[in-house]
Amino acid sequence: MIAWVPFNLLTDAILFRTARPSLKASEEAFDKALKAKRDAAEANARKVESLRLEALALEEKRASEALRVREENEARRAQVLEERERRDEAIAKLRCVLYKRVSPIARFQHLIAWVPFN
């Protein structure tokens, strides 16, 4: 036998029974979505941190490479200056030796008038 219940009480009971599981399901769905967003944010944070560390490593590598190139350039410059200095000293010695060992006539023969002998 069916008992006659006022309509609003019946509908409230139906809504109460169906609303509870629906509310629980929506809370679970919200929690899942929130967890997924948090996981995505954590993954993004890890990715950003790894990219930052990679950028720092590349910057350090670039700085060390620039320092190495600068040191090589300075070493080469010092070597070139040393070679120039040695060359200049050798030329100075060579000039002095030439002027000391060669007679004045040979040194200035282009200035002495050549007179043919007959």
| 1 domain-assigned | no
Query: How many domains does the chain divide into?
Result: 1
Domain region containing 15: 7-107
| 118 domain-assigned | no
| 100 domain-assigned | yes
| 116 domain-assigned | no
Query: Terminus-to-terminus CA distance in the chain, angstroms?
Result: 167
Gyration radius (Cα) of the chain, Å: 49
pLDDT (tens digit, 0 to 9) for every residue of the chain, 118 residues total? 455 555 555 555 555 555 555 677 788 889 999 999 999 999 999 999 999 999 999 999 999 999 999 999 999 999 999 999 999 888 777 665 555 566 777 777 777 767 666 5
Structure tokens at 73: 């350039």
Name the phi and psi angles at 35, rounded to 5: -65, -40
In the chain, the largest separation of any two C-alpha atoms, in whole Å, equals: 167
Q: pTM score, two decimals?
A: 0.44
| 43 domain-assigned | yes
| 33 domain-assigned | yes
